[in-house]
Structure 1
């Protein structure tokens, strides 16, 4: 399977996929000029993984700031995971945050409210 790695920049998160281990990770800020362009590859990879792999999928997030269009993209990703979870697939989100950044906790908690799949919000130093 084609894994991908998108290097992070000042305005976009680093994104890596790991098909063999069923992990998609994103870290950094997300306020790209074109969030559709940035997240299109992520959607396609998740859709393909959920359709073809008979293994759990885990999203490992270390996102710090998301602009409105990035929030919409992440909501769409969580909608994909929710649909898969309702079909009996094993999906989970682990959102890691720095204890000093309460804004991230609030954002993650807002996303979690709409999700029935396992969704952990984990602090780290």
Structure 2
């Protein structure tokens, strides 16, 4: 049922109703927006602890995942160049994030600017 709030947030984000936090792997919701949506649609409290657990960025795990993706797609023919550019840029951004914060789990609270 919680997924309802993610879908509502994504639709609202696409329509300019919600802000987002930019990360190396895409945009994530701001805590205050999810807190509001959970209360409004599910009459449920959404804690900051849950938010941090669900949306923390784990650079080393994501870099490992990118390695697995690259290994898998290198076997395919005609993978568009933009795909490889995305992987490269995500790697660079994740490494920069790791260098900046020197943490295994980076809270989304730290990423909000």
TM-score (norm 1): 0.25
> In proportion to residue count, which structure has more helix?
2
Larger Rg belongs to: 2
TM-score (norm 2): 0.27
